Every structure is written in structure tokens, then in C-alpha cells.
Structure 1
Amino acid sequence: MESKRSKIREDAKYSYLPDECWENVLKFMIGDGDDYDDKRNLKSISVVSKQLFSITNCIRSSLTIYDPTTPFLSRLFHRFTNLTSLDLTHFHGDLDALLHQISLFPFNHLLSLNISHKPTIPASGLLAFSQNITTLTSLICSDIDSFKSTHLFLIAQCFPLLEQLELDLTENLVYDDDGDSCERFFHGIEALSLSLSKLRKLNLSGHYYIDDKSIFHLFKNCKLLEDLTVRQSCDITEQGVVYAIREKPTTLRYLSLPVLIIPQIIDSLCTLKALTNIDLSFCSISDQLLTSIAIQGLPLNRFSIRQCDGYTYAGLFTLLSNCHSIQHLDLFVVSFLNDRHLIELSSYLVALVSLSLRCCYMLTHSPLFTLVRKCPSLTHIKMEYIGANSVLNYYDDYLIDFGLYPQLKSLYLPNNSWLIDQIIIMFVSAFPNLQLLDLKSCKNISLQAIVQVLKRCRKISHLDLSFCNLTSGLNLLEMNFQVPHLKMLNLTSSQVDDATLHVISKNCSGLLQLLLINCSRCTHKGVKHVVENCTQLREINLNNCLNVHTNVAASMLFSSPSLRKITAPPHIHFTETERKLLRLRQGCIVF
């Protein structure tokens, strides 16, 4: 007995590691990426002890604020004292009032604020925010419905330390009722360029008034500018770009402008020796341009020629066979690219990490294994709307030995209706470490093939089966294994039924997000299985699920207290009092 007590004391002696050690352990566990699934696991870690609770509070750096969050802001801000990033994109209330409230807290490390997808810029809120929080280096205001010239002056006044500014608009800017004109917008851009001396990244896509003078002032005054994106502008000329580039020969790393690529542009681009990211999307380019870039030996990391014309395979081959540092390549709508070309190019893409081959209609899936075999770092592939030639023959040729390629993590194959069960099974057998698989609108895949996907790819976390004709049901004998890492499952318009939902709920209990939009075969019985067995579920979308009973949404909250977002069928209506009660008691938004 004494020896046992001695052992317990000895174990206890080494269990009390310093906070710094635990902090490093937890940071290693959650990683540094943008995927917050692992960060949610901190909740379970924090209940182990007061020490771990305190440490998990300290290492959380980002917070997304929803409407139900606002009554608890004071408690949250006092708990998470090292926040560096706030995301307000999902907040739909009075944003000015929210920013005034946030400004009252003594944030010492806040660097990033995202207020995208809003009706307008919250001017008074940003002004109050900037007066008390002076550390901001990143401001993201994408897709603002009503953007005014005064907003440019406001940003210039409030945030002089900005290094990143995202103001891209999905819809082109229109004049408002305050007498805005192109001239006033131009002066706003000039004010930005003079005030934001530390600016490194700027996105002004959709701001059609941007002209040669604007680009010149940005290049001249923003001495540290590395990344400039301006699309949907008609007033930028080739000569203006050439003149502006002379002001920025050493720091510019990324450039995307809506101009024709003339010889003078080619010569100017080749003087940018630090250029690592070239985006020529929607431009008319030439083999001469591609050859000139190849000859200059620019240290390219990213290269995009989305929907470009005017060049041939000869120019593309010259570029890619000489630029061996390219890690991210986008070949969206390259009409001439075929299997032979891609196999030939794969020998030169040794550093490739991600590849997009969307809408390359002459391609088949045949070069896929050549790519992953010759590109050892390739982890993400998109092959949407590619051709279907020789599919069955290729499957027969590779059936016996196609190897294992554990490096591939993401495979996007949407809108390839020729894909059949045998080919999908072949893919997942070769890529055992897949974490994301997108099979949207692949209509010839059965649930039996999906069982094989889940069985062979046990690390899969995101699976998109929307618009697939998954009409045959499953039983427990067909799927008698656990899929512990599956977090997001999209079954929109897939024709799944209650029996399928029952099997999913039993074997995919770690689900966080389930989308069942337009799944008319699902009833409240299947949904009940999911919410009772998937105890970590945070979001469920039942939009247009017409056979789900009217009281299912309320009962879900009692069955699954983890739920934070419910999209109810259109025939289920909640009063504002009920919605408020759900927000306050459960922290759950009901749409």
C-alpha cells in the first residue's frame, strides 16, 4: 500500500508542468491553420482542470461574434484576454452599437477586424473603435452594399497602422445620393495612399473608378506595398500601369490588374524581381509574355491564367518547364490542355502543392496518378467539369497496381457526371489520407461507393455529396465501422432517407455540420436520430425538408444542447419571443 502511495506522489510530482509547457502542447494539438474544428476541442480540454481552463483561455486568438453572442461579450472578453482577431461577418444587428461596445474593452493585442457582407460601413462604430483600439493592422470590408467615398477618408483617418486592407466588392460600385463622383473617390484613394504608409496588401476589386492616377499614387506613396488586386476597372490603361510599375521595382510580390498584356507591360513585369504571384485572370496574353517571364527567372510561387486567351501550349510549356518554384497553379478553362500535355508538364511541377484544372474539357482523370506520383508535395487537386474519354479502359489498366499517395489531402471532383463507383473506390484506395472530398453533382455514384470512401479514408473530415442521386438505403451491416473525424457532411438534394440518417448518426457521431437542404425523403424520425447521436452537432440545415414535423426544431434543442444554428423548414415558424429565448438559453440561432 505504501509503495502505491509513493508512486501516486511521484506521478503527481511530474504532472504539474509549467503553464508554458502545457501551452506549447495545446498549440501543437490545435495547429496554426484556418480550420477551427480542432480549436473547438479545447472545450473538452478546458474542463479537465482549472489550470488547463486558464491556459485554453489564453491561447485562443480569434473570436467570431454572432447575434446571440452579444449579451455575453463582457464575459467572453474577460475570459479570452489574448484575442488578436474579431470576425463580425455573421452579426446582423446594429453594427455601430456593437463596435462602440467592443471599443470599451482594453484590447492590447487586437490586430484584425472583419466586417464584410454588410449594408454599409459602420462609420460611427469604426471611429469609436479606432479611438481606443490602436493596434489594428488588418481590416476586411468585402462585399459592402453601399460604399461611399467618405468611407475611404474614414479608414485613412482611423487606422494608420494598417498593413492589409480588403475592400473588394462583388457588385460594381454605384454612385450614392451624397454627390459622390469619380473625383471624390480618387481623392479618397490618394488619402489612403498618404496615410497608410505601412500598407502591404490592398484589394480594390469592383471599384470601377480606379484609374492610372490611383495606381500611380498607391505605388508611389505606399513604399511597402507588396500585393495589389484591382479587377472590374475600365479606366486603367497599359501605359498607366507601365508608368506606375517604375515606382515599385523591388517590393511588389503580387499584381492583378485588368489590362491587356502589351510588350511594354511584359517588359515592366519582368523588372519586378520580387514578384512571386502573378494573376493574369481574364486577360488576353501571349506566348511571348509567358516566355519572357520564364527567361527572367522570377521566383514565382503562384501563377493563375483563369479564362485567358491568346496563348498556346508552347508558351505554357516554356513557362512551367523553367519556373520550378510554382506551388499553386490555376489553369481554369484552358481549352487546348489534354492528358498528354499534363503528363508532360508534371515532370517540371516538382514543388506543386495545389492545382486547379476546372473546365479543362479535353482532360480526363487519367493524368491524376501521374501528377501525384511526380509531384510529391501535391496535396490539393481540383478537377471540375473535365472530360470523360476512355474512363472504363483507364480503370481496367490501373485496377491492379496504382500505388498509394498519402500526401493528397483534398480532392475536388464536382460536376463530373461520368464518375462511377469503381473509379471513386479506386481513387480513395490510392489516397488514404484524404481529408476533403467534393463529389457535388456526381450523379452516378451510389451509397455503397460512399461506404467504401468512409471505410478507406478514415481521416476524412469534409464530404460534399450534394445533388448526388443517393437513392438506395443503407443498413448497419453495410456500414459497421466508425468515422470519427467526419465534421462536415453536405447531403443537399441527395435523396437520402431516414434509414441513411440513422446509419450516419450511429457511425459519424462527431459531426459538427449537416446540410439536408431539399431532402424531401427525410422526416423528423431521421433528424431525431442525428441530433440524439451526434452530440457535438453545431449546425443543421433543414431548409425545404417538407416532411419534417413542425415541432422538431424545438425538440432538437433539448436533444442536442451543442446546436448553435438551425435552419428550419419553411412551414415551421418561430415567434420573435421564441427565437430570443433560444438565443439566450441555448446560444442558438434559428432561421
Structure 2
Amino acid sequence: MKRKKTSSSKQQTVTATCSHLPDECWEIIFRLIINDDDNSNKCGILNPLSLVSKQFLSVTDRLRLTLRVYGDEELHRISERFTNLNSIVLAIFCIDSDELLRKISRFQWKQLRSLSLSDRPSIPTNGLRAFSQKITTLTSLNFSQIPSLSSSDLFLIAECFPLLEELNLSHSTNCKNYTSYVDGVEALSLALIKLRKVNLSSFPINNQSLFHLFNNCKYLEDVIIFECDEITRAGLASAIRERPTLRSLSFSTSDLNEEHRQLFATSHFIDSLVSLKGLTCLVFNYLNISDELLYSIAREDLPLTRLDLPFCTNYSYNGILCLLSKCRRIQHLNLQCAVFLNDQNVVQLSSILGDLVSINLSVCMELTESALFALVKNCPSLSEIKMERIGRLSDIVGNSDSLGKLCVYPQLKSLYLGDNSWLSDKILIMVASSFPNLLLLDLESCNHISEGICQVLRKCCKIRHLNLADCSRVKLLGMNFVPNLEVLNLSYTEVDDEILYLISKNCSGLLQLHLDDCSGVTKKGLECVRKNCRQLREHGCIIPSSHMQQL
């Protein structure tokens, strides 16, 4: 009884002390927690905090900046609670988007800056017009994945949202009549005088439209144009000349046939590219480039911090070494499918990449896990590594002395090792011992791992995101308490109700659980997860198709 009294007394003292702190202090504290969070999952942090007290609920409500709207039933209550919202996302399955936009506009959130209407059949024209008349602060608009987007819709955007700084129209039409969109794109480029960032991937844009965009948008800094058939190297080069202030360029064509790819390394194109003296981000996907292009970038010493060349061809190790030796500010590097790379090359590159934060060396078939350890040893800021489908096993694994000499590298937070058939439990445990602070581990299609994953979870107790999809031999029966796990993918595995029961007891903080094509799962197992994992978001638990009828 004395212990209970003491405990209760302490609890009351703490509560009383906390209650005297003003909301402003708690808001500062919560903001620090959010900013320090490596996973950037604000909802995952705010949700449990909001349950502590009414005061904490009030503070966390003010910190919520993004809201996903499913219907209009509780819009009034939402507007009173979340007063600092700056971004609204309309859910895909909203029945009447026009009416919902009208109702949202009535609340006149003064700080609203962003609106997302992606993944729907068409643009809600009437609702947008009403929305724009009431809310004039919008600077970001997302219309991606809208198959019926027309040229008249572009004129509507230009008319209603002249203050836009960011516009996403990617994958937003099935139309192949590129000339019918020229006038619409020109209208956008003339109206959106503040436009800084645009995503037109898989959009019917041609050389003429691209020229209008680059010529008229004086503040344009960031352009993403993946899979655009009608843009040629000459057209892209001419457009670049019109916008020398461009800081980020991401480009690819949709022709993935290596034999038919045009060479994006002519002298005219290279001269245009290196004229971008402020270029910090360059992303070329599936392009036919050359060492001469890389040498030219190196000679100009462009201030690149991001270089992505996934599946690019016709360049060599000498070219990439020259560029990275000169441009030493690189923080993000993607050399996916650079078939010439070997372990020795990676050791040499890692020694000159002191600022590296993330790297992708997937599908580099000559690499081994020796390259992985060279990177973390030589790059102290490296937090993300992708080495999926790399070549083979090195001698380091079979050498017990080498295993004993492996160090701990606390900086690594995300590791992607999917589709590596050589990855065994022994190697996996070794990796886990070296990277205790992992937050994300992706092992998709690693078919030789089994019980070892349980030891990994014990050694890497901070893991939040674990992907075991298509790991046919994985065993989770020895799983212990994993409090931080938020996303778990067990699709295409032998998971059954017994394992689901274990997961529900040990992973109560789950936000998403993927169970595609898991034939061993029944309604009983799913109900167990739903009962014990109360934070699972709506539709976060993906139900196996074979059991849809049961639920």
C-alpha cells in the first residue's frame, strides 16, 4: 500500500508540474521531437502524445499541418481543431469532389498553401472555381494521375491559381495528341509567373511547349520531365538555354530500348547543360550519355549535391571518378546498374565522398558486401544504402576473423538488400550487429533468410519499417517485443494466424501491415491484429484477396 501511495503521489506531482507549463513551451518541445525524428512520421509521434491529456491534444492539434479529407461530415469540427493546416489531400474515393471543395472553401483556412487532387477520373471544375474564389493563398497544386486532363483544364488552372509555385501534372492524361496541349501549356507559363517547380512526367509535352515553359517562367528552378517521348536532345538543349537559373533537372525518355536511345552527349547538349552554373541536382534515367559529358561537368565544377544516373549507358568508371573527384559536394548518388563497378572502385569512390548521405548501387553485379562496409567506414554521414540484386558473396563472410573485426556504424538508418539470393541468416545477423540504429530494413525476395530475422529485430530494436515480402522461408515465431515497428510487409510469405497473433502482441504500434496473397491467413488472424494493433490506419491492413468475402 505504501508503494502504491508513493507511486500515486509521484504521478500527481509530475502531472501537476506539467500542467503549469504553458502551451507554448510544450509546442516548442514537440516541434523539436518532430524535427529530430529520422523517420519524418509526424502523425506517428503526434498520435500518442495527443492521448496524454487534453492540453497535449490541444497542442498537437496546432502542430498538424496536413489533413486527408474523406468526406464533409466533420469538416466544421476539423476546422475548429486544426487551425494551422497548410495542406489538404482529398482522398481518392471521395464521392463528390466538387461539393467537398465548395464546403472546404467556406472555412477559409488562412494558411492553406497546398491542395492534392491526384488519382481521380477528372478534375472537379466547378468545385475548383469556387475554391479559388474563397482561398487565394494556394501555392502548390497536385493533379497527378488524372487520365482525362484536357487542355481546357490547363486554362482553368492558369485562371484560378496565378500564385502557384509548384505544379504536379505527372501521369495526368492518356491523350497522345501533343499539339492539342501547346496552347494550354503556354497559357500556364504566361499566367504562373511565380512557378518554381513543375512535374510533367508522362505528360503530352513537346519541344515547343517546353520552350514556352522555360522561356516564360522566370523563376523556374526545378523541372521533372520523365518519360516524355516528344522531347529531343535538341529541344531540351534549346529550352535549357532560356532558363540559366535552373537548379534541378530530372529527365528521361520512355524508350528503354538501348539500341534506339539517342545520344544525349552531343557538343550542343553538353554546352547547354554546363551553362547551368547553379545546377545542384541532375537526374538522368535510362539515357545514353558519355564520359565526355561527365568530364565537362567536372571541368565546370557545377555545385552538384545530387547525381542520379540509374540505367544510363555509354559511360565508364573513369568518367564518374573524374566528376566525383571534382564535385565533392555530392550528398546523394545513384549509379544503379553501373555494370563496370567493382569493390575496389567503390573503395576508391568512398574515400572522396565525405558528404555522402545516400547511395544506390543496386544491380551492380560485380559488387559484394565488402563494398557495403567500405562505404559505411569511409562516409561518416551515410544514412541510406541501396544494394539490391548485387553480385556475389565475398571472402569476408566465410572468414571468422573478419567477422570479429567488423565495427559498429551507428550512422546508417536505411538499408535495402532486396533480391540478394546469397543473403543468409549468418550474414544478416552480422549486418544487424554492425548497424544497430537501423530504422528501415528492406529484404524483399531474399529467399535464404529464415529464423535470423528475429535476432535482427533484437539487435536493431529501433526498426520502424521492415519489408519481408516474398521471403518464402522467413520465420517469425521467435519474435520478441518490437515497440517501434510501424510498417511491416509480409506479402507473398507463409505467414499464418499463429504468426499474426504473435505480431499483434509484440508490434502494437503498427501503422501498416501488408498481407497480399498470404493464403495461410484467415479472418480470425486479421481480427486479432485489428484488436491489438489499434493504431493501424484506415486501409493500412491490406487484406488477402482470397479472404475478402469472409470480411
TM-score by length of 2: 0.90
Q: What's 1:139 paired with?
A: 141
Q: Deviations over 1:38-67 (max 9, x none)?
A: 42443443344443332222221110123x
Q: Deviations over 1:425-469 (max 9, x none)?
A: 0111000000000111111100x2111111000100011111112
Deviation at 1:195, TM superposition (A): 0.6
Q: Deviations over 1:13-35 (max 9, x none)?
A: 78422322111112222338795
3-state SS of 2:186 partner:
helix
Deviation at 1:514, TM superposition (A): 1.6
What amino acid maps onto 2:190 in structure 1? L
Q: What's 2:258 paired with?
A: none
CA RMSD of aligned residues (A): 2.5
What amino acid maps onto 2:151 in structure 1? S
Deviates more, 1:182-191 or 1:533-542: 533-542
Deviates more, 1:201-210 or 1:520-529: 520-529
Deviation at 1:292, TM superposition (A): 0.7
What amino acid maps onto 1:219 in structure 2? F
Q: What's 2:448 paired with?
A: 444
Correspondence 1:302 to 2:275: no
Q: What's 2:275 paired with?
A: 271
Uncovered stretches (5+) of structure 1, i.e. residues with no partner = 176-180, 547-568, 574-591
The 3 A distance-change label for structure 1 pair 334 and 397 is: farther
Correspondence 1:126 to 2:128: yes
The 3 A distance-change label for structure 1 pair 370 and 471 is: closer
3-state SS of 1:104 partner:
helix
Q: What's 2:200 paired with?
A: 204
Distance 2:93 2:404 in 1: 53
The 3 A distance-change label for structure 1 pair 291 and 571 is: same
Q: What's 1:535 paired with?
A: 534
The 3 A distance-change label for structure 1 pair 33 and 223 is: farther
The 3 A distance-change label for structure 1 pair 12 and 323 is: same
Deviates more, 1:505-514 or 1:534-543: 534-543
Distance 1:141 1:164 in 2: 11
Q: What's 2:500 paired with?
A: 501
What amino acid maps onto 1:540 in structure 2? C
Q: What's 1:518 paired with?
A: 517
Task: Answer whether contact 1:89 1:118 (CA < 8 A) is retained.
Answer: no
Q: Deviations over 1:532-590 (max 9, x none)?
A: 3333333322213x4xxxxxxxxxxxxxxxxxxxxxx23236xxxxxxxxxxxxxxxxx
Distance 1:298 1:394 in 2: 43
Specify which of 240, 246, 257 is matched with residue 241 of structure 2: 246
Specify which of 25, 38, 58 is matched with residue 29 of structure 2: 25
Q: What's 2:6 paired with?
A: none
Deviates more, 1:47-56 or 1:342-351: 47-56
What amino acid maps onto 2:64 in structure 1? R
Specify which of 374, 386, 389 is matched with residue 390 of structure 2: 386
Task: Answer whether contact 1:208 1:232 (CA < 8 A) is retained.
Answer: no
The 3 A distance-change label for structure 1 pair 34 and 432 is: closer
Correspondence 1:153 to 2:155: yes
The 3 A distance-change label for structure 1 pair 11 and 166 is: closer
The 3 A distance-change label for structure 1 pair 362 and 85 is: same
Deviation at 1:73, TM superposition (A): 1.7
How many residue pairs get aligned? The number is 532
The 3 A distance-change label for structure 1 pair 234 and 254 is: closer
Q: What's 1:421 paired with?
A: 425
Distance 1:11 1:510 in 2: 25
The 3 A distance-change label for structure 1 pair 106 and 31 is: same
Uncovered stretches (5+) of structure 2, i.e. residues with no partner = 1-8, 254-261
What amino acid maps onto 1:227 in structure 2? D
The 3 A distance-change label for structure 1 pair 89 and 531 is: closer
Specify which of 280, 286, 291 is matched with residue 282 of structure 1: 286
Distance 2:185 2:385 in 1: 38
Deviation at 1:312, TM superposition (A): 1.2
Distance 1:32 1:218 in 2: 38
Distance 1:223 1:46 in 2: 44
Task: Map 1:562-573; keep pairs closer than 5 Å.
Answer: 569-572=547-550
Distance 2:14 2:459 in 1: 43
Distance 1:319 1:87 in 2: 41
Task: Map 1:405-420; keep pairs closer than 5 Å.
Answer: 405-420=409-424
Q: Deviations over 1:221-241 (max 9, x none)?
A: 111100112233333333333
Deviates more, 1:100-109 or 1:502-511: 502-511
Task: Map 1:291-440; keep pairs closer than 5 Å.
Answer: 291-390=295-394, 393=397, 396=400, 398-440=402-444
Deviation at 1:484, TM superposition (A): 0.9
What amino acid maps onto 2:118 in structure 1? S
Distance 1:412 1:334 in 2: 17
3-state SS of 2:32 partner:
helix
3-state SS of 2:370 partner:
coil
Q: What's 1:577 paired with?
A: none
Task: Answer whether contact 2:397 2:427 (CA < 8 A) is retained.
Answer: no
Deviation at 1:393, TM superposition (A): 4.6
The 3 A distance-change label for structure 1 pair 55 and 255 is: same
What amino acid maps onto 2:191 in structure 1? S
What amino acid maps onto 2:491 in structure 1? T
